[in-house]
């Protein structure tokens, strides 16, 4: 049976979607957007031109994810390391770009029923950006479709440090440290992503094979899809290609392949 094509997909997207199993879409997709600088360099343009071009990629990816009914999409917009180690002029440009994106995009997010959230240490962002970020979150908080989470000034190690501090604080306010319980569920409940399922699929653009301090706890069992496409060239159709690749994989969570428990009825002979 052919999958019904969701409204709004273009011809190329429809072609890829047609081969997907709509019952096995990833619930949560995380994306490491990379390659803006290289995209600009290849065109003899300043790095910031790559970031500007990256906004069209964000728009297309978010809209396609919403159209096909992805529950959650998390974008690594900038890391704590980007924030601290890049020239001030580039960081300032990224801040202005984010602010402008939020202002321009809120109506479209609302039309597409998308709810905006953030992870990362936002209190370290410039105050006007914090205000804009909070305004956009409030303006979309009633939407019930895709949850778009932007990782801003985010580091997975800092997130874990914040989670451990938060667990200790919660215990000390709730009868003292003898009530401190540490297990996987409790850590999960104190992460920035406590209201989201763990990502099923992580996409990285520009061919790099690294997680770069992104959602290290949550990506424990995620499928990894790396594409050579540089972020400014990435579009909804590339997201669908990543999903097609994800659907070819068999997720085992440390177990065996389906049927493999009967694959060796005789003791396995170890070659000498
Ligand atoms: C990585 O490319 C990308 C970033 C550090 C910033 C990502 C920002 C955007 C896509 C635009 C704004 C975002 C939103 C949500 C509106 P890089 O500069 O590290 O590229 P390189 O590795 O080729 O140098």
As a whole number, the mean pLDDT across the chain is: 93
Cβ 62 under 6 angstroms from ligand 1:
no
Is pLDDT at 169 greater than 90 in this prediction? yes
Token readout for 107 is 């109506």
Determine the pLDDT at residue 265.
Answer: 47
106/254 Cα distance (integer angstroms): 41
Q: Which of 37, 41, 208 to mutate to test the pocket of ligand 1 (most atoms within 8 A of CB)?
A: 37
Percent of the chain at pLDDT exceeding 90: 85
pTM of the prediction? 0.93
250/236 Cα distance (integer angstroms): 24
- Residues forming the active site: 34, 82
The alpha carbon of 48 and the centre of ligand 1 are apart by a number of angstroms equal to 9
Is pLDDT at 261 greater than 70 in this prediction? no
What's the pLDDT tens digit per position in 32-45?
999 999 999 999 99
Is pLDDT at 260 greater than 80 in this prediction? no
The alpha carbon of 128 and the centre of ligand 1 are apart by a number of angstroms equal to 21
203/163 Cα distance (integer angstroms): 25
Is pLDDT at 272 greater than 80 in this prediction? no
Cβ 154 under 6 angstroms from ligand 1:
no
The closest-lying atom of ligand 1 relative to the alpha carbon of residue 150 is: 15
Q: Which of the 8 DSSP states describes residue 244?
A: H
Residue nearest to atom 22 of ligand 1 (CA): 35
28/146 Cα distance (integer angstroms): 9
What's the pLDDT tens digit per position in 35-72?
999 999 999 999 999 999 999 999 999 999 999 999 99
What's the pLDDT tens digit per position in 199-236?
999 999 999 999 999 999 999 999 999 999 999 999 99
Q: Which of 39, 40, 48, 51 to mutate to test the pocket of ligand 1 (most atoms within 8 A of CB)?
A: 51
What's the pLDDT tens digit per position in 178-187?
888 899 999 9
**CA neighbours within 13 Å on the CB side: how many for 185?**
1
What are the boundaries of each domain within the chain? 11-154+197-247
107/114 Cα distance (integer angstroms): 10
Q: Are strands 147-154 and 115-119 parallel, antiparallel or unpaired?
A: parallel
157/223 Cα distance (integer angstroms): 21
11-154+197-247 CATH fold: Undecaprenyl pyrophosphate synthetase (3.40.1180)
Q: Do the Cβ atoms of 236 and 9 come closer than 8 Å?
A: yes
* Mean pLDDT of the 140-151 span: 98
Instruction: Report the candidate in 30, 45, 46, 79 with the shortest Cα–Cα distance to residue 218.
Output: 30
Cβ 37 under 6 angstroms from ligand 1:
yes
Is pLDDT at 266 greater than 60 in this prediction? no
| Beta strand extents in the chain (DSSP E only) | 28-32, 72-79, 115-119, 147-154, 201-204, 223-226
The alpha carbon of 158 and the centre of ligand 1 are apart by a number of angstroms equal to 20
């Amino acid at each position: 049976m052919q999958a019904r094509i969701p409204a709004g997909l273009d011809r190329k997207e429809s072609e890829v979607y047609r081969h997907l199993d709509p019952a096995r879409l990833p619930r949560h997709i995380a994306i490491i957007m990379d390659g803006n600088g290289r995209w600009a360099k290849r065109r003899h343009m300043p790095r910031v031109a790559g970031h500007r071009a990256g906004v069209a990629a964000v728009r297309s990816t978010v809209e396609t994810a919403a159209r096909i009914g992805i529950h959650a999409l998390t974008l690594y917009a900038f890391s704590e390391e980007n924030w601290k180690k890049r020239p001030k002029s580039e960081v300032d440009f990224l801040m202005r770009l984010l602010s402008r994106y939020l202002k321009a995009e809120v109506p479209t997010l609302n039309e597409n029923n998308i709810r905006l959230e953030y992870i990362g240490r936002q209190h370290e962002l410039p105050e006007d950006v914090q205000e804009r970020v909070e305004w956009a979150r409030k303006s979309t908080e009633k939407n019930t479709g895709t949850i778009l989470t932007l990782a801003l000034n985010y580091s997975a190690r800092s997130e874990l440090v914040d989670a451990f501090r938060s667990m200790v604080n919660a215990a000390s306010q709730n009868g003292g440290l003898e009530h401190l319980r540490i297990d996987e569920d409790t850590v999960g409940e104190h992460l920035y992503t406590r209201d989201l399922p763990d990502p099923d699929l992580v996409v990285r653009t520009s061919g790099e094979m690294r997680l770069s301090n992104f959602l290290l706890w949550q990506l424990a069992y995620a499928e990894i899809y790396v594409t050579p496409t540089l972020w400014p060239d990435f579009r909804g159709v590339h997201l669908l290609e990543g999903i097609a690749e994800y659907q070819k994989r068999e997720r085992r969570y440390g177990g065996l392949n389906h049927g493999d428990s009967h694959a060796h009825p005789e003791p396995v002979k170890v070659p000498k």
